Homo-oligomer: A and B are copies of this chain.
């Protein structure tokens, strides 16, 4: 019997960091061209997940970090009682799993929000490599530190800002992340449901919905379902700084 060609699992198209369009965002960013092979030696490319599939969950033994190659990923913590707290959204070029480097199983659950492909970096090998490439080590510290800062930023949003401010901030964050990938910063499609936005921002779905329509009525955005157009970026930025204006 002829084996069907195993598209994803066993054709690990080695050596494509070199030609990956995300090499200026992802880990290769920190590596000299001539050292890139060493990263390619440890990466497992091309794993694909359909919308809704888990890349890992809190019971999976922690082995690897994952770089999003295409699609998008939602991470969340599920409490004993089944409650979910969305902790982040990850877009192409971003690294998922850094929060788990202190645990034996993953610290969160990662789910593909759409058809998503990821590159897998086994941490043991990654740590070996960062021990040899100071630039890469530095970059890892950089990424982790940024993730800590993101957390603080989120905490700030949650504890001090109104629903409108939180949503404006999220839209602008997404916008700038699309822009980094040279996609339109004003015209994009949200990878996540209203529910996920609500959960992430500590709001009720209904509130998210209402704020979207309010923004729409004020001419700040145009939104139909997940399609969003930012009509007035400056005004949105003003919204996020409203808490600032209180002081004046």
Contact = CB atoms under 8 A, between A and B. Distances in A.
Interface of A: 77, 79-83, 85, 87, 98-103, 107-108, 127-128, 130-132, 134, 137-138, 140-152, 154-156, 158-160, 199, 201-202, 241, 243-248
A95 B17 CA distance: 35
Nearest to A246: B81
Q: DSSP class of A's interface residues: helix, strand, loop or mixed? A: helix
- How many copies of this chain does the complex contain? 2
Contacts of A132: 131
A137 B140 CA distance: 11
A171 B20 CA distance: 48
A83 B152 contact: no
Contacts of A248: 81
A159 B204 CA distance: 10
Contact of A148 (B79, B98, B243, B245): B98
Contact of A99 (B81, B131, B149): B149
Given A82-B247, A83-B247, A102-B146, A141 B127 contact: yes
